[in-house]
Chain A
Amino acid sequence: MSTLLGDLRAFAAAGAKEFRILRRYPTLFLGFLFWPIVLPFAYVLQARGFAGDSAEASAAFASRAGTSDVVGFLFLGFAAYMWISMILWGPGTALRTEQVRGSLEALFLTPASRLVILFGPAFSQIVWALYMFGLVGAAMVFVFGIHIGLMEALRALAIIAVSVPALYGMGALFASVVLRFGEVSALVQTVRGVFTAFCGMTFPIIVLPEWGRAVALSLPPTYLIGGLRSALLAEADLVSLVPDMAILLATGLFLCGAAVVAFRTTERYARRGGRLAQY
């Protein structure tokens, strides 16, 4: 069996293993049913509380957000945020879990590529993400009466797909931190906080000051969130989404490259200092 084929199979096996373990904690499914629906709904109520039925407020929102659909705007922002959180935590958490569990050395003893160990377990989260986006989409269509056609849904899926390398790249950079410093949660929380503050999860980024907008435009999640809203709420065609998708893809390639270099460097550091099993 060729090495590449072996690694692809190992990659799938790593994702399947994680998913199998998750399945053995069935109460987790309840949480995944709850969060994507209930949390954004709280923001919807908050918006209603602030603006009420004011036509002036709605018009102001529409002029800034590019859509008058507050519910769709918030649900998509929140779904994207959950997806981003999952992937940011994914590789680092997977590595950290293996380290604390005591299985990391056993994994490093195998001939599988380090990329399998890094990305494979987090791959199972794509299944969760699809489940979550499906749930959010269903809530938007059946509960809030937002129209989502097949082409809009496909365009949204394309945006999600091109965001994968960028988000995994960031997650993998965090995983390198795990090998170097052991703990990564403080850093992930900080970055998540920056994304919440700048990427327009619950607000249009146009309300940010100029320097804040510059920060927002330098962060990949801004393009994911903006692209999803454009595809599903503003019914933007694929051509108008291409610039956002290209930026996401280019950032993704750069971040993945940086992550591979960082991971190799920290792995070497860990192998020199005997820190693979230390946490």
Chain B
Amino acid sequence: MTAASGPAVEAIGLVKEFEKGRRTLWQRLRREPDQRERFRAVDGIDLLVERGEIFGVLGPNGAGKTTTLKMLATLLEPTSGSARILGRDVVREAREVRRRMGAVLSDGRSLYWKLTARENLQYFAALYHVPPGLQKARIASALAAVHLDDRADDYVERYSTGMRQRLVLARALIPDPELLLLDEPTVGLDPQSARDLRDRVREMRTQGRTVLLTTHYMEEADQLCDRIAIIDHGRIVALDTPAALKRTIAATEVVRLEIQGAPMSDPGLVARLGQVGSVARQERQNGVLSLTIHCRSARDFVPAAFDAARAEGATIDHVEVVAVTLEDVFLALTGRELRE
């Protein structure tokens, strides 16, 4: 890994369009014009990731996170816009970009299960053009970094899902990259394995590497990332540190209420609650009204909520008070929850 100047990642107006539906062979043979509808998976993303930071791209499934990462990783060609990784253009200098970064864009399925961990890494060391004299040390270091050195000579088929995911991370470390791209690195892992992997990612930063990761787990983004870009429908809707993002909500606490007996058509209760807090979300299911309310003090808000419910002839069944999270930031920005 060699230190250099300039941003680790720089994307300007990155756009990726895909066609909807399929074009039949008959249409192709007749050279009919392609009239398929196009949709923008990524819609003009500008991104600047500084060297040495852990930068998160947070958004729900289908928001365009993976597409963005694949364009940066040279696996997808942008429809328009440009991106530079460590100063190299991802389209014109794709091979140079690949030489300098490590990426985790797939799960343990992408390993060779009939090979040992060491044999997997030996193969990728050759593909990454690691000089033969350095390969042994590089593989040992990558295995140690993900705490798999004691199982290095076991077949991958005998590994747990978490161990395989760690090995995929070790594979990304083989070129000793200054930049790591990680796409949803903890998806499908049990909580302990996920926590373990996050620890490994933090260590990457202490080694001086830049990490750009995507996730739809707000806790993961909150705990790991120095800065976060919140992405929705292919666009960045907010970008800042986790603390600064949370400060954009004019509240310090979030109250979630479940109310029975609130009149269907009469908006009186919601209006009353809106006077003492900010109703971020309301949903009615099986006669139960669920509300998410941002407020400055739950201690003041909750009694007022009970009074309002009583006045409207409704009953509050459930009260939950939590601190403001990135989920609330996303909700405030998009009107939807991350998990939707």
By a beta-carbon cutoff of 8 Å, the part of chain A in contact with chain B is: 1, 3, 6-7, 9-10, 12-14, 17, 20-21, 24-25, 101-103, 105-112, 116, 268, 271-274, 276-277
From A25, which residue of chain B is reached at the shortest CB distance? B114
- CB–CB A9/B103 < 8 A: no
Query: Which of B116-124, B239-247, B299-307, B331-339 is found at the contact surface with chain A?
Result: B116-124
Within 8 A of A (CB), among B83-125: 95-96, 98-99, 103, 105-107, 109-112, 114-115, 119, 122-124
Q: Cβ of A25: which chain B residues have Cβ within 8 Å of it? A: 114
Residue picked from A1, A17, A110, A272, most chain B C-beta under 10 Å:
A110
- State how many angstroms separate the Cβ of B103 from the closest Cβ of chain A: 5
B73 at the interface (CB under 8 A from A): yes
Residues of A within 8 A of B127 (CB): 10, 13-14, 107, 110-112, 116
Shortest CB-to-CB span from B297 to chain A, Å, is 48
- B98–A103 CB distance below 8 A: no
B77 touches A102 (CB 8 A): no
CB of A78, distance to nearest CB on chain B (Å): 30
B75 surroundings in chain A (CB, below 8 A): 105, 108-109, 271, 274, 276
Separation of A106 and B171 alpha carbons in the complex (Å): 9
Nearest residue, chain B, Cβ from A2: B129
Question: Nearest residue in B to A9 (C-beta to C-beta)?
Answer: B126
Closest to B16 in A: A274
Cβ B70 vs Cβ A112 within 8 A:
no
The answer, among A17, A268, A272, A274, for a CB contact under 8 Å with B112, is A17
Partner of B114, one of A3, A24, A111: A24
Contact at A13–B114, with CB atoms within 8 Å?
A: no
Cβ B110 vs Cβ A103 within 8 A: yes
The answer to whether A21 and B112 have CB atoms under 8 Å apart is yes
Q: Considering the complex, give the chain B residue whose CB is closest to the CB of A113.
A: B95
- 21 contacts across the A-B interface (CB closer than 8 A): A1-B129, A6-B126, A17-B112, A21-B112, A21-B115, A24-B114, A25-B114, A101-B112, A102-B110, A103-B109, A103-B111, A105-B105, A107-B127, A109-B75, A109-B98, A111-B127, A112-B127, A271-B76, A272-B77, A274-B70, A277-B106
Q: Are A9 and B132 in contact (CB under 8 A)?
A: yes
Enumerate chain B residues within 8 angstroms of A271, measured Cβ to Cβ. 74-77
Contact check, B98 vs A111: say whether CB atoms are below 8 A apart: yes
